[in-house]
Structure 1
């Protein structure tokens, strides 16, 4: 039976803006208050997905969430019609409105942690939506994320779903952005590497920015997915990387099959980590591409998002391909490194640069925009929505974006009831296009 890694990209939402909500995310903070272009952002994301399709990859999409979150506003005591609640909230706290109107759900690497059926005790693919407890604007996401995932991957013989972890920031879980899986091929038993920033019940005095993922949360996800302990590893991210702006491990590391591409400063003891991975992999040979700080300083890696790339195996190319943000080609150190890496042609032979600047300015590169799911042919047949892309669906989504999205949104626009109503109308139509059912609170 054939297996593949499918990428489900988040569609940039109609309320995409630069409110600078993500503490520890350097790009988000540096672009706070800038004018955003949701239409351009959504089209850039669809162009990225279309490029991967042209390489022979299986590509899907996940929808934006309904923003502002009316459920969150009601939870804060606001009452009345949708317009009345928004007006009252905007008068009381524009900062609260900015948080509940965030379009951060575009970064679907944070949507969930996924363990494919080859790795789990019951032979099903397991999904745990991330609680994203470290940041309020993201902590409100998981109920809708769970509905979306259940609509696309129906609970049953092939797919199993869990609730987000309880426990607040002590059990902070940031999803697949802090999870790597190594394997010979996607359908083979793999090794899961969970990367955490701190212990739940310890004071991390070596951190300036929050360690969003906790060890205890990672262990809990591994347990409820039924992963084999000897095939499951836990490692702490280097505090220096977090303090440099690598708020998730996918800012300094990315993997595909038996290749691990990471920065020298991503982990405190990379030599030991490589030994541990080799031991867990057994007879399967691992390949490590450790990028030295002498060639790419950590600050350059974080600013360019060299490692927040997609590392993929395409059907028609020898060697793996990096899907990189165009910013990598604009920085001397990262451009030179990628040219040397791909020029050797040993493991990673191709580098494709794509423009995802609307996302990048908020701190999300190509890897942030996608959720990876290893699927068999039978799994593909069990998908329950119209979320796997083909050229006709891409054209439909592009037309949908052009019809509904603004080309200019500022943080001051978030109190505009027309933006809310435009967004809800767009998303209502999108659920019909993707055949998702009534997944949004305003549709309940």
Structure 2
């Protein structure tokens, strides 16, 4: 039997609120507040541990080295590393913040993964996202690729691809715009790719205020790389009007699991025709659970991250893993209470405190990368990245030892922070058996 694993991103020591993500309402609204990296990392780790207690298999993906000194050198900043940090901060605090961002914590953007049941060669295919729309994210993919190769290690079952060309034509945001629907995790499914803009058709509608980050051409390229076919792929456009209301990724407006797609009625373009295509290609029953605007506005959906939730299969039915903000938003809480009384596969809602991530624009779904694995493929995963009680205790102690309780943008220029980050990551490579994945080790 196959399982679906969630690989959560471990929040890095430089977690800060710089407001770097234009189009992400929460990121912009909390810019320049002091963050708490220790609380952020522990909240994410506790959420991951709670999923194991619900009976799920859970993995952890390591953070990246920040501040990113090697790339700051490429911009012409010279001297000692302390000099480079000071020069970059004096030139532009925003620039230093971009090269110090802990945004790789949102591993829904790390890659797109197609399970072996869907691919022609029966391998799990992995393509890291190029994330070219945002400077602070565009610097991630090379290290992301190394981390993924250190996590999914068996080349007999995992096929690793390079990121797509770093050009706006192929803007790729990873699994945040990708959902797999299936009857069972080990059966062939339909992979739903959601895009914001079609580059070869400039007359097609697109957002007027915020950027459409995912292109159709990027999604089609990934489908080719992953050896998918027209029989098990559907390409669907995100509603440009919702992007302009802060729905920067599809996982802010819909979430799927197995044969369920939970979505807002304003999520897509040409909704019913595309749903018919999904039904036809699935060949089995699909539950499309629509949340009407009258019960949850786009504003409430974005502020609470009603759809940036995880939808998981438990022994007694599906459950929504939601942030506390859903519980604290009256219209959203009322809808979720009502949902549990309806005849759908969703039987429970579990609320978690991930406030530090939420304030920077990422909910529970942003923090995890999903991958369906057969048992022999699970055996090919680095065992030191699979969350056990022992690993949880080690990581919790590691966070307690190395992370600060408060961080401001000005603190990013502190040379001691760089030392602290490198010391922490060097120790983490031993805990998780990651090898030489970081630039400072290469």
Alignment of 1:357-368 (within 5 A): 357-368=355-366
Q: In structure 1, what is the equivalent of residue 416 of structure 2? A: 418
How far off is 1:158 after superposition?
0.1
Is 1:428–2:426 an aligned residue pair?
A: yes
Answer yes or no: is the 8 Å Cα contact 2:154–2:381 preserved in 1: no
Q: In structure 2, what is the equivalent of residue 13 of structure 1? A: 12
Alignment of 1:272-283 (within 5 A): 272-282=273-283
Q: In structure 2, what is the equivalent of residue 306 of structure 1? A: 306
Answer yes or no: is the 8 Å Cα contact 1:122–1:226 preserved in 2: yes
- After superposition, the C-alpha distances for 1:106-148 in whole angstroms (9 at most, x for unaligned) are 0000000000011111110000000000001000000000000
Q: In structure 2, what is the equivalent of residue 111 of structure 1? A: 110
Q: In structure 1, what is the equivalent of residue 212 of structure 2? A: 211
Structure 2 distance, partners of 1:73, 1:280, is 48
Q: In structure 2, what is the equivalent of residue 126 of structure 1? A: 125
Q: In structure 2, what is the equivalent of residue 3 of structure 1? A: 2
- After superposition, the C-alpha distances for 1:164-223 in whole angstroms (9 at most, x for unaligned) are 100422210000000000001111101000000001242755431000000000000000
3-state SS of the aligned residue for 1:400?
A: helix
Structure 2 distance, partners of 1:285, 1:65, is 41
Answer yes or no: is the 8 Å Cα contact 1:70–1:441 preserved in 2: no
3-state SS of the aligned residue for 1:321?
A: strand
How far off is 1:343 after superposition?
2.5
Alignment of 1:143-182 (within 5 A): 143-154=142-153, 156-182=155-181
Answer yes or no: is the 8 Å Cα contact 2:306–2:326 preserved in 1: yes
Q: In structure 2, what is the equivalent of residue 68 of structure 1? A: 67
3-state SS of the aligned residue for 2:385?
A: coil
Answer yes or no: is the 8 Å Cα contact 1:385–1:436 preserved in 2: no
Alignment of 1:78-97 (within 5 A): 78-97=77-96
3-state SS of the aligned residue for 1:177?
A: helix
- After superposition, the C-alpha distances for 1:33-92 in whole angstroms (9 at most, x for unaligned) are 111000000000011001100001000101111001122112212233322322222222
Structure 1 distance, partners of 2:309, 2:142, is 28
Answer yes or no: is the 8 Å Cα contact 2:115–2:124 preserved in 1: yes
Q: Which runs of 5+ in 2 are unaligned?
A: none
3-state SS of the aligned residue for 1:46?
A: helix
1:393 aligned residue (360, 368, 391): 391
Q: In structure 2, what is the equivalent of residue 292 of structure 1? A: 292
Change (3 A) 1:206 1:23: closer
How far off is 1:155 after superposition?
5.2
Q: In structure 2, what is the equivalent of residue 41 of structure 1? A: 40
2:407 aligned residue (406, 409, 427): 409
How far off is 1:299 after superposition?
1.1
Structure 1 distance, partners of 2:301, 2:82, is 43
3-state SS of the aligned residue for 2:429?
A: helix
TM-score w.r.t. structure 2 length?
0.98
- After superposition, the C-alpha distances for 1:299-340 in whole angstroms (9 at most, x for unaligned) are 11111100000000013xx22100000000111110000001
Is 1:380–2:378 an aligned residue pair?
A: yes
Q: In structure 1, what is the equivalent of residue 225 of structure 2? A: 224
Structure 2 distance, partners of 1:344, 1:351, is 13
Is 1:191–2:194 an aligned residue pair?
A: no
Change (3 A) 1:167 1:200: farther
Answer yes or no: is the 8 Å Cα contact 1:20–1:29 preserved in 2: yes
Q: In structure 2, what is the equivalent of residue 136 of structure 1? A: 135
Answer yes or no: is the 8 Å Cα contact 1:319–1:345 preserved in 2: no
3-state SS of the aligned residue for 2:33?
A: coil
Structure 2 distance, partners of 1:112, 1:13, is 18
Structure 1 distance, partners of 2:244, 2:10, is 29
Structure 2 distance, partners of 1:437, 1:167, is 27
Answer yes or no: is the 8 Å Cα contact 1:151–1:385 preserved in 2: no
Answer yes or no: is the 8 Å Cα contact 1:155–1:161 preserved in 2: no
